[in-house]
């Protein structure tokens, strides 16, 4: 069974990301949420620090960080701004498929521009009627000589309108079910590509989410990722790597909420005492801290398994995402309760964290899907 240990280098890395997050990302978090605008200054600060290429191979200009280090970065940014934590891991999620299965020419054309922060990248799997049921997607790609012509639409796309590159899954053989799905890299300036409806969301409001539309969108056949008809399997494999990062995001949200509560209860007085002195409050804080630590162990273990290339990644990844996201929702709800009336207002970040936490139970496979994955691994 894989284990993990954090050494002085991990601690130093966490400290550097935390300092950057608190200085250059936290100050923009509330405004990004309020205006529903991409936090451009936070993104530029992240790139200026050299972190855009954190989890990308050194051969392509990145730092070559593994899943565990990447998770620490996601956690620390999510601790102050969950919306910003999406630009920490979505570009790698989008390009990860390309790095694993794409041609060298396609990799060299796309990835270095993402590594430098010149371009963002998005991952386009879901459709309006194909969320958990991926094989029900209707977007098609039809071969036409040296090109493919795409028609259809993708929904709930993180970074819609901000990204330059989009990893898109579509049906190249509509009669073959999940075996007829293939993956392509689509550039935002391709003819027939457009951004449709932008979602007005409860949380993660500083990260744009919207619809991507393909209307006779012509792309070179060289933009096919890997083998024709293997897209479904590529997508399912990618989820093992992305789910622990959603877990890390949820973990960061929960930790940020707990930190807010700990500071507040040591200042707030009721009945002549700091409310931190009340046993009921102390028990709430202790329960939150224990849940967060358990979630952290699950997330870090899943990431360590991925780094080691071990077996059992599907169950470990699903467990990490499931438990950490449920923890984030529980903790943020309790923190709002603990802060009372002020916790319900935008004067404190707790209500934003509570809204942000909810989607971690939904995307990258709902938590009901995580339970299906875990049960399947248990039962064979």
Separation of alpha carbons 233 and 237, rounded Å: 6
pLDDT at position 22 is 98
Which superfamily does 121-229 belong to?
Butyryl-CoA Dehydrogenase, subunit A, domain 2 (2.40.110.10)
Q: Are the beta carbons of 77 and 88 closer than 8 angstroms?
A: yes
Question: Which among 290, 244, 316, 318 is positioned nearest to 69, based on CA atoms?
Answer: 244
Same CATH fold assignment for domains 121-229 and 232-379: no
Which pairs with CB-CB distance under 8 Å and at least 24 residues apart come from 291-294?
291/254, 291/327, 291/330, 291/331, 292/251, 292/254, 292/255, 292/258, 292/327, 292/331, 294/323, 294/327
**Is 364 a residue of the active site?**
yes
Which pairs with CB-CB distance under 8 Å and at least 24 residues apart come from 342-346?
342/264, 346/30, 346/34
Alpha-carbon distances of 72 from 15, 68, 128, 132, 344, rounded to whole Å: 10, 6, 32, 28, 29
Over its C-alpha atoms, the chain yields an Rg (Å, rounded) of: 21
Separation of alpha carbons 242 and 63, rounded Å: 18
Which superfamily does 8-115 belong to?
Acyl-CoA dehydrogenase/oxidase, N-terminal domain (1.10.540.10)
pTM of the model: 0.94
Domains of the chain, by residue range, sit at: 8-115, 121-229, 232-379
For the chain, the straight-line distance linking the first and the last C-alpha, in angstroms and rounded, comes to: 19
Separation of alpha carbons 73 and 18, rounded Å: 8
Q: What is the pLDDT along the chain (380 residues), one digit of tens a residue?
A: 455 678 899 999 999 999 999 999 999 999 999 999 999 999 999 999 999 999 999 999 999 999 999 999 999 999 999 999 999 999 999 999 999 999 999 999 999 999 999 999 999 999 998 878 888 899 999 999 999 999 999 999 999 999 999 999 999 999 988 999 999 999 999 999 999 999 999 999 999 999 999 999 999 999 999 999 999 999 988 888 899 999 999 999 999 999 999 999 999 878 888 988 999 999 999 999 999 999 999 999 999 999 998 777 999 999 999 999 999 999 999 999 999 999 999 999 999 999 999 999 999 999 999 999 999 999 98
Separation of alpha carbons 46 and 97, rounded Å: 23
Helices (H), the chain: 8-20, 26-35, 40-48, 67-78, 82-101, 104-115, 231-265, 279-308, 313-339, 350-359, 367-379
DSSP type of residue 239: H
Question: Which among 180, 323, 346, 155 is positioned nearest to 248, based on CA atoms?
Answer: 323
Please state which CATH number belongs to domain 232-379: 1.20.140.10
Q: Is 156 exposed, middle or buried (0-12, 13-18, 19+ CB in 10 A)?
A: buried
Q: Kindly name the residue from 75, 76, 127, 364 that is annotated as catalytic.
A: 364
């Amino acid at each position: 069974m894989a284990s993990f240990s954090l050494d002085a280098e991990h601690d130093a890395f966490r400290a550097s990301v935390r300092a950057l997050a608190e200085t250059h990302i936290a100050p923009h978090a509330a405004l990004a949420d309020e205006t529903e605008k991409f936090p451009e200054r936070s993104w530029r600060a992240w790139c200026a620090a050299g972190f855009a290429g954190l989890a990308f191979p050194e051969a392509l200009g990145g730092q070559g960080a593994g899943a565990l280090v990447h998770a620490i970065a996601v956690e620390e940014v999510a601790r102050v701004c969950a919306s910003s934590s999406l630009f920490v891991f979505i570009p790698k999620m989008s390009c990860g498929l390309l790095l694993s299965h794409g041609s060298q020419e396609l990799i060299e054309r796309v990835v270095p521009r993402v590594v430098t922060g010149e371009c963002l990248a998005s991952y386009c799997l879901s459709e309006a009627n194909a969320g958990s049921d991926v094989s029900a997607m209707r977007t098609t790609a039809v071969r036409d000589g040296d090109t493919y012509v795409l028609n259809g639409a993708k929904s709930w796309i993180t970074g819609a309108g901000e990204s330059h590159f989009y990893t898109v899954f579509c049906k190249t053989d509509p009669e073959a079910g999940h075996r007829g799905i293939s993956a392509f890299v689509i550039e935002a300036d391709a003819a027939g590509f457009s951004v449709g409806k932008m979602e007005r969301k409860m949380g993660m409001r500083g990260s744009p989410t919207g619809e991507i539309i393909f209307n006779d969108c012509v792309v070179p056949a060289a933009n096919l990722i890997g083998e024709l008809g293997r897209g479904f399997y590529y997508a399912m494999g990618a989820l093992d790597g992305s789910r622990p990062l959603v877990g890390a995001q949820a973990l960061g949200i929960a930790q940020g909420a707990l930190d807010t509560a700990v500071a507040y209860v040591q200042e707030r007085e009721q009945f002549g005492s700091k409310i931190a002195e009340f046993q009921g409050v102390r028990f709430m804080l202790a329960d939150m801290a224990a849940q967060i630590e358990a979630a952290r162990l699950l997330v870090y273990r899943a990431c360590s398994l991925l780094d080691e290339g071990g077996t059992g990644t599907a169950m470990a990844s699903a467990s990490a995402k499931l438990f950490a996201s449920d923890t984030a929702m529980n903790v943020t709800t309790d923190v709002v309760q603990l802060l009372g009336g002020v916790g319900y207002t935008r004067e404190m970040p707790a209500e934003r964290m509570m809204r942000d936490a909810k989607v971690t139970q939904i995307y990258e496979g709902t938590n009901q899907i995580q339970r299906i994955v875990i049960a399947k691994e248990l039962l064979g």
